[in-house]
């Protein structure tokens, strides 16, 4: 029975039992900030379990695309080393929303395992939550007591994340025999390789919040069977990568890599797994970046590229695996076909970028690992330097080290990190002691500075604070530099990359305007004559400069818009610098702009500017 047939049989069984077949949700969660990737079939039904949403059905069945990398459920480090872990997999599930509960769920799971997939009942073990006597007794209808084990919360209490629906669960495990280990039962099987968990049935009973869990109004059922695992059992193979879908993919990878699978199994497993996570994530709208989900995906890609390099691939190759993947999975998941060129392009660009980084670091990374080989240890100091100077994150290094069977001196690394922190903390503390505390107190006493600079660039005001050498003083003498605080001010303070106003406050030349603590506007500069506390002064912004800054500020908005027109709507601002004579705009992108694209951006920016539209200002706090 091939993977497609298994998927169909499962769905068919549950549809016949009154379940509605629901399509997989995207692997990138659309509206759940607690989740990095869809990690289980139940994700898309979370609000139904919680009683916040009603649907026309109370029973559902799905084949859900899942990624378990990063976040609470993370299998990335295991892929390639065990016979069962994948970062991307399909989860077959049946769900009851306040409809049936334990008895039927157990009955269904047993029937599907033994009557649909014809697994040998004598080899099926089940685990229940340690105090769940009800589940234990229900299982006795199907298996003898010596095939039932009880485990604590770590194994048999399932939660989607740190918050959300959760409950005790019962798992079905298949005894794959002594060739995996001599463990006699799941208690002894520490690696989990002999007694393969292939199905987890969760009795959803609670909603876990930050302060504990409350009972759900309607107890529900959420089950998940790993499609690749049941396929391995059905097809009588020892490793998920030996099922038909992966073997077909690996045959194509052999051609692309010009290497034989037999000689490099781990590398082929990693590449075959990682191309699935990457392609599905990108098809569902993910980008690769330096933060959050984008960073996890980048890590996955780099790991695949590293394994490719160990097989002699100096050039990008991973993007070539997209088409073979589409041949295997494109008819079930048409989004892969639809997004093919986008996926290929994004992977290729990222591969090129990573290879460039490796080149730029002058092979230092390679060298460090080569030097580590004889001792089998990457020194903490070296690891820290690679992170601190070359920006290769520790967990990425750890993963590479593991893949090369080299240990990292974690303790030494942490020591180096602490030392570096200490140094920067000291540097920072001196500054803080000088200014932050008294400034905070000042704002507390006087309230926030009043900014009037949207209405006027010139006003009379009163000096309510003078700082010299970081201390509050009553007088600033001619020639001394310091900072002034006014009761109200037309000076715009540096904010979000936009430089502050300059100008004059009577006999004080303002070189910069800043907000070192929230609510405080500080005018930095030099006294050209003596200034005293409570003096009434004339505060005047340099109009010409302010105008220039404003123009560059507006230009950043135009540039952002133009970039989105040309490079795509996914372009997001990452930062900017706005001054009187220039601007810089940071954004994240998968590839550099071509000369044509740059010219086009320039042209449409200029066109927009020539339209000379009125600018509207919103104060967003």
CA-to-CA dists, residue 283 to 43, 270, 345, 570, angstroms = 19, 20, 12, 14
| Least distance from ligand SER to the Cβ atom of residue 341, Å | 33
Task: DSSP letter for 176, please.
Answer: -
Binding status of residue 301 toward ligand SER by CB under 6 A: no
User: Which of these, 342, 249, 262, lies nearest to 304 by C-alpha position?
Assistant: 249
Residue from 90, 207, 222, 524 binding ligand SER (CB under 6 A): 222
Binding status of residue 6 toward ligand SER by CB under 6 A: no
User: Which of these, 451, 457, 449, lies nearest to 542 by C-alpha position?
Assistant: 457
Looking up tokens 């899942």 gives 66
Question: Candidates 221-229, 244-252, 431-439, 595-603 — which segment interacts with ligand SER by CB under 6 A?
Answer: 221-229
With beta carbons less than 8 A apart as the criterion, state whether 124 and 139 touch. Answer: no
Binding status of residue 224 toward ligand SER by CB under 6 A: yes
| Least distance from ligand SER to the Cβ atom of residue 93, Å | 5
Question: Candidates 3-11, 217-225, 452-460, 529-537 — which segment interacts with ligand SER by CB under 6 A?
Answer: 217-225
Residue nearest to ligand SER (CB): 224
Binding status of residue 90 toward ligand SER by CB under 6 A: no
| Least distance from ligand SER to the Cβ atom of residue 41, Å | 5
Residue 163: alpha-carbon gap to chain centroid: 17
Kindly state the tokens that stand for 355: 């290879």
Residue from 11, 27, 40, 304 binding ligand SER (CB under 6 A): 40
Determine how many CB atoms are found less than 10 A away from the CB of residue 344. 19
The site map against ligand SER for 140-169 (x = CB under 6 A) is: ------------------x-----------
| Least distance from ligand SER to the Cβ atom of residue 63, Å | 12
Strand partners for 541: 503
Rg (CA), the chain: 31
Question: Candidates 208-216, 220-228, 406-414, 420-428 — which segment interacts with ligand SER by CB under 6 A?
Answer: 220-228
Binding status of residue 202 toward ligand SER by CB under 6 A: yes
| Least distance from ligand SER to the Cβ atom of residue 147, Å | 20
Binding status of residue 384 toward ligand SER by CB under 6 A: no
Q: Which is nearer to ligand SER, 164 or 490 (CB)?
A: 164
DSSP 341-362: HHHHHHHHHHHHHHHHHHHHTT
Binding to ligand SER in span 92-121, by CB under 6 A: 93
| Least distance from ligand SER to the Cβ atom of residue 214, Å | 19
Kindly state the tokens that stand for 181: 């280990």
Residue from 223, 328, 504, 515 binding ligand SER (CB under 6 A): 223
Question: Candidates 39-47, 394-402, 453-461, 543-551 — which segment interacts with ligand SER by CB under 6 A?
Answer: 39-47
CA-to-CA dists, residue 401 to 77, 84, 89, 316, 395, angstroms = 11, 22, 25, 22, 10
Strand partners for 225: 92, 199
Q: Which is nearer to ligand SER, 226 or 500 (CB)?
A: 226
Binding status of residue 200 toward ligand SER by CB under 6 A: yes
CA-to-CA dists, residue 494 to 238, 251, 287, 522, 527, angstroms = 62, 58, 31, 10, 21
Question: Candidates 15-23, 149-157, 219-227, 437-445 — which segment interacts with ligand SER by CB under 6 A?
Answer: 219-227
| Separation between Cα atoms, residue 220 and residue 225, nearest integer Å | 17
* Reduced 3-state DSSP string for 475-529: EECCCCEEEEEECEECCCCCECCECCCCEEECCEEEEEEECCCCCCCEEEEEECC
| Least distance from ligand SER to the Cβ atom of residue 174, Å | 16
User: Which of these, 612, 555, 603, 608, lies nearest to 579 by C-alpha position?
Assistant: 555
Give the interface size with ligand SER as a residue count (CB under 6 A).
Answer: 10
| Least distance from ligand SER to the Cβ atom of residue 35, Å | 12
In the complex, which residues of this chain contact ligand SER (CB under 6 A)? 40-42, 93, 158, 200, 202, 222-224
């Amino acid at each position: 029975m091939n993977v497609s047939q298994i998927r169909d049989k499962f769905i068919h069984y549950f549809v016949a039992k009154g379940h509605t077949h629901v399509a997989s949700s995207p692997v990138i969660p659309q509206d759940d900030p607690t989740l990095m990737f869809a990690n289980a079939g139940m994700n898309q039904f979370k609000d139904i379990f919680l009683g916040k949403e009603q649907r026309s059905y109370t029973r559902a069945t799905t084949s859900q695309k899942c990624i378990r990398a990063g976040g609470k459920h993370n299998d990335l480090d295991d892929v390639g080393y065990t016979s069962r872990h994948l970062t991307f997999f399909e989860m077959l599930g049946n769900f009851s929303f306040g409809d049936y509960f334990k008895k039927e769920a157990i009955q269904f799971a047993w029937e599907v395992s033994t009557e649909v997939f014809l697994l040998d009942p004598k080899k099926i073990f089940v685990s229940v939550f340690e105090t769940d006597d009800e589940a234990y007794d229900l299982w006795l209808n199907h298996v003898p007591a010596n095939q039932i084990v009880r485990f604590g919360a770590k194994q048999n209490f399932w939660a989607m994340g740190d918050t959300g629906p959760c409950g005790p669960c019962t798992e079905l495990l298949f005894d794959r025999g002594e060739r995996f280990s001599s463990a006699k039962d799941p208690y002894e099987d520490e690696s989990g390789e002999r007694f393969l968990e292939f199905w987890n049935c969760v009795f959803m009973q609670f909603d876990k919040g930050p302060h504990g869990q409350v009972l759900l109004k309607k107890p529900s059922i959420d089950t998940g069977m790993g499609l690749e695992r049941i396929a391995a059992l059905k097809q009588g193979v020892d490793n998920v990568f030996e099922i038909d879908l992966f073997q077909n993919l690996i045959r194509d990878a052999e051609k692309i890599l010009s290497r034989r699978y037999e000689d490099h199994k781990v590398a082929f497993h990693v590449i075959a797994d990682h191309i699935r996570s990457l392609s599905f994530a990108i098809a569902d709208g993910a980008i690769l970046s330096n933060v959050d989900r984008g960073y996890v995906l980048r890590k996955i890609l780099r790991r695949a590229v590293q394994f490719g390099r160990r097989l002699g691939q100096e050039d990008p190759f991973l993007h070539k695996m997209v088409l073979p993947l589409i041949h295997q999975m494109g008819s079930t998941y048409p989004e892969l076909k639809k997004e093919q060129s986008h996926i290929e392009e994004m992977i290729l660009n990222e591969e090129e970028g990573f290879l460039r980084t490796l080149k730029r670091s002058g092979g230092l990374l390679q060298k460090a690992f080569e030097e580590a080989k004889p001792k089998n240890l990457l020194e903490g100091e070296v690891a820290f330097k690679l992170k601190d100077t070359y920006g290769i994150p520790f967990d990425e290094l750890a993963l590479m080290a593991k893949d090369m069977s080299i240990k990292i001196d974690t303790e030494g690394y942490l020591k180096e990190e602490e030392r570096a922190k200490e140094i920067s903390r000291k540097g920072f503390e001196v500054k803080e002691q000088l200014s932050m505390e008294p400034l905070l107190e000042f704002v507390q006493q006087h309230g926030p500075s009043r900014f009037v600079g949207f209405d006027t660039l010139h006003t009379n005001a009163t000096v309510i604070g003078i700082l010299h050498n970081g201390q509050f003083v009553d007088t600033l003498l001619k020639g001394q530099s310091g900072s002034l605080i006014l009761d109200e001010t037309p000076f715009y303070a540096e904010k979000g990359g936009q430089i502050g106003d300059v100008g004059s406050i009577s006999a004080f030349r303002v070189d910069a305007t800043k907000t070192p603590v929230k609510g405080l506007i500080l005018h930095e500069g030099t006294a050209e004559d003596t200034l005293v506390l409570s003096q009434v002064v004339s505060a005047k912004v340099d109009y010409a400069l302010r105008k220039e800054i404003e123009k560059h500020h507006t230009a950043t908005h135009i540039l952002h818009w133009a970039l989105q027109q040309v490079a795509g709507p996914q372009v997001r601002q990452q930062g900017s610098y706005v001054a009187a004579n220039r601007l810089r705009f940071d954004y994240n992108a998968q590839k550099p702009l071509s000369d044509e694209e740059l010219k086009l951006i320039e042209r449409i920016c200029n066109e927009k500017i020539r339209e000379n539209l009125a600018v509207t200002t919103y104060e967003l706090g």
